[in-house]
Structure 1
């Protein structure tokens, strides 16, 4: 699967309050909160704003190449496939010469609001945030409005830049886990 991601984040949220807002707006929780783990790799050759990600969400395992062209709501392009095994895919990538630059964990609670996908993400060292992903840009803004979130409170920067907003260089952390 390849395509543009249309997404925006509301930073520094209260997860319980945000969950109530989503449910009150007609959203539904999709399963229990789960630990997500990922390996992040540089591409060969390394290109700023482009990386390989192997991710196990607890529901599926995917391998993708992400390319960020801008920090706009439609600035990320992703090419992704589903794989059967996190460990076997990591071994295969090592055999091709790719070694992970980092291992990362976060906790994610997923919701649907109509066709829009909402994720309450909790990462080590930073406050939780809400990610709104939709099929096009207007749907992102509509979902935010349905939750009472002003558009000027949203950002489309990637997680590395979110960490930077809190004075943390995510690229310098080789192993990011919950204690």
Structure 2
């Protein structure tokens, strides 16, 4: 599985960070989108690997994610496009995978100097910025362009981010805005 190189800046003001990205030469890629996803255990109780089925508003993907460690280069992912959230969820059910949760977030996407930046807004926690680039050094470089220091970054997954705010994500079958 290929590594993802990404880090988050937690507890941001989405408007301020969007303006900052644009002021540094970035550009917004499409409107803010509601993302819907189902999350499935591969092996019950193993939080290091899971299946994610996600509708991004622009398309639907199926991925296997694996966390080796919480560093910028600690997440691995294989992702493919699928044509239907509902049909793929049904197919996974026929294969014995049943969603452990349904989750929603709002995402505003930007490009800046070759990196993908996402302002993510999730229910119950403050918004955060995710920076994804071609290497750990590039993630740090883009963060520095925006004025963020390495000590302000985390590469924890969403479950661990929720835990920072005292919320056990696995205790919520539905995490949504409705």
Normalised by the length of structure 2, the TM-score is 0.98
Please identify runs of 4+ aligned residues in structure 1 that moved more than 3 A. Answer: none
Q: Which residue is 1:89 aligned to?
A: 88
The 3-state SS of whatever aligns with 1:105 is strand
TM-superposed CA distance for 1:48, in Å, is: 3.0
Q: Which residue is 2:40 aligned to?
A: 41
CA distance in 1, matches of 2:169, 2:68: 19
TM-superposed CA distance for 1:44, in Å, is: 3.9
The 3-state SS of whatever aligns with 2:163 is helix
Q: Which residue is 2:79 aligned to?
A: 80
* Deviation by residue 1:53-85 (Cα, 9 ceiling, x = unmatched): 000001121101100010000000001111011
CA distance in 2, matches of 1:59, 1:137: 27
Aligned-CA RMSD value: 0.9
Q: Which residue is 1:20 aligned to?
A: 19
* Deviation by residue 1:14-66 (Cα, 9 ceiling, x = unmatched): 00000011001100000000100000000046533110000000112110110
CA distance in 1, matches of 2:112, 2:165: 29
CA distance in 1, matches of 2:98, 2:46: 15
CA distance in 1, matches of 2:44, 2:106: 31
Q: Which residue is 1:112 aligned to?
A: 111
Unaligned 5+ residue runs, structure 2? none
How many aligned residue pairs are there? 178
The 3-state SS of whatever aligns with 2:69 is coil
Matched, 1:32 2:22: no
| Aligned counterparts, 1:1-179, within 5 A | 2-44=1-43, 47-179=46-178
